[in-house]
Amino acid sequence: MPAVQWFPGHMNAARRAFAKALAVTDVVIEVTDARLPGASSNPMIEELRHFRNRPCLKLLNKADLADSDATRAWIAYYSAQPNVLAVAVSAKNPADIGRIPALAQQLAPHRSGAEKPLRMILAGIPNVGKSTLMNALLKRRVAQVGDEPAVTKSQQTLDLGPGMTLTDTPGLMWPKIEHDTDGFMLAASHAIGRNAVADEEVAINLGIILLARYPALVETRYKFSAAGLDGESLLELIAQRRGCMRKGGGLDLEKAANILLNDYRAGTLGRITLETPESRRGMLQSGTNNALSAESGDLSAC
């Protein structure tokens, strides 16, 4: 299968603007997708904030769609890192959003008041909910929201409250996705443009993970046994059950792929997390670009 890569031209300018803004920033608020916290953490953001020695409030957004046990493991993993505080949030939950300024303040207690305002920057990959979160923090619509990656194209700084400013940034990808598994997880979660890879390939790879980690949820949703299935046979059964047929006969696997992807993205399948700290560590230690072939045996133990 071809590697998944997606780096639109405007992101070079966005990267330069982000690096420049970090020079006058106190705290980086990085928004990730709680269903794939490792894959949705931008290594470029990590590198630039380390260069500037900036602390990070890492928000695991869409926590209402993620497996709560896996989310707790990721929070412990990230919070054990120096200068990092990790919390699970849902941008749709006002109580979660209300905590964010105080949490950021904990990471830069020396910055407060009109003379030394706390300067925060909101960053993350496309379509992890940054714009929804920005609007919720400011209690008004200041950022365009859409269920497509790379909706926000420009940077803006706004007053968050007395002694606080927040800079919103466009979604930032990095030039090369090193691990095929990450690319497929990002595409399944709609963080990558649809022109980067075929939906059928994305759904097959999503199916591999779902069958390994959440076979009961698959069975409940689609009303068939998941035993012995692989990603492709899962799509075939979905196509049969949902009547996805091509004109002239034959299963429409592309239509079945969109059913599976939409069920995952909307949370219709249930609360799902595609990776844990343990499974990610295993992928990185495997020494291969594509850990999907091993995941069916490893993920269920994580």
Q: Which CATH architecture has domain 198-301?
A: Orthogonal Bundle (1.10)
44-54 confidence digits (pLDDT tens): 899 999 999 99
For residue 78, the model assigns a pLDDT of 97
Residue 298 predicted with pLDDT over 50:
no
Q: How far is CA 150 from CA 52, 108, 284, in A?
A: 25, 30, 27
**Which comes out higher in pLDDT, residue 131 or 212?**
212
Kind of pairing between the strands at 156-161 and 164-168: antiparallel
Residue in this structure with the two tokens 């803004």, named with its chain if needed: 21
**Contact by Cβ (8 Å): 144, 176:** no
How deeply is 128 buried, as exposed, middle or buried, from its count of CB atoms within 10 A (0-12, 13-18, 19+)? buried
Q: What are 82-120's pLDDT values in tens digits?
A: 999 999 999 989 999 999 999 999 999 999 877 899 999
Given 3.30.1510.10, 3.40.50.300, 3.50.50.60, 3.20.20.105, which CATH number is that of 10-168?
3.40.50.300
Amino acid (one-letter) located at 136: A
The domain locations on the chain are 10-168, 198-301
pLDDT digits (tens, 9 = 90+) for 202-249: 999 999 999 999 999 999 999 999 999 999 999 999 999 999 999 988
Looking at the whole model, is its pTM more than 0.85? yes
φ, ψ for residue 83, nearest 5 deg: 60, 25
